[in-house]
C-alpha cells in the first residue's frame, strides 16, 4: 500500500500508542507498522505520548518521533519561539 502512494510520514493515533500498555494486538500492530515504514524510509510519528511508559513503548516499537503531553502541552504559536531551547533536549529523548 505505502509503495503506491507518496507517503513520507505516518502518524499513529493515540488510541494505538496508549493501548500498547495493555493490548498485545496494539503492540504487534504498531511495531509492524514501524518496521514496514523503516524499510520504506518513512518517518513514524506516535501521538498521545503522555507517560514514561508510553515513551518507552514508542521507543521499543520503533517510532521516529513522538507527540504528547509528556513533551509539552499545546501552545499558541506566539509562545513557540520561547520554547525552542527546551525542544532540543526533549527531541533527544527519542
Residue 48 belongs to domain with CATH number: 3.20.20.450
Q: Identify the domain containing residue 71 by its residue range.
A: 2-91
Which has more confidence, 37 or 80? Answer: 37
pLDDT level of residue 28 (50, 70, 90 thresholds): very high
Measure the CA angle with vertex 44, ends 59 and 38; round to 5°.
85
* Residue 75: partners with Cβ closer than 8 Å, 6 or more residues away: 83
Query: CA 73 to CA 58: how far, in whole Å?
Result: 18
Supply the pTM of this predicted model: 0.76
| Predicted confidence (pLDDT) at residue 9 exceeds the cutoff of 80 | yes
Residue 86 has pLDDT above 90, yes or no: no
74 CB-contact burial (10 Å; exposed 0-12 / middle 13-18 / buried 19+): exposed
Instruction: Give which of 86, 88, 29 is closest to 62, Cα–Cα.
Output: 29
Question: Total structural domains in the chain?
Answer: 1
Amino acid at each position: 500500500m505505502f509503495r503506491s502512494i507518496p507517503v513520507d510520514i505516518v502518524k499513529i493515533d493515540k488510541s494505538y500508542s496508549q493501548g500498547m500498555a495493555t493490548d498485545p494486538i496494539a503492540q504487534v500492530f504498531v511495531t509492524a507498522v514501524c518496521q514496514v515504514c523503516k524499510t520504506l524510509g518513512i518517518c513514524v510519528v506516535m501521538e498521545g505520548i503522555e507517560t514514561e511508559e508510553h515513551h518507552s513503548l514508542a521507543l521499543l516499537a520503533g517510532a521516529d518521533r513522538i507527540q504528547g503531553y509528556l513533551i509539552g502541552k499545546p501552545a499558541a504559536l506566539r509562545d513557540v519561539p520561547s520554547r525552542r531551547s527546551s525542544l532540543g533536549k526533549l527531541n533527544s529523548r527519542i
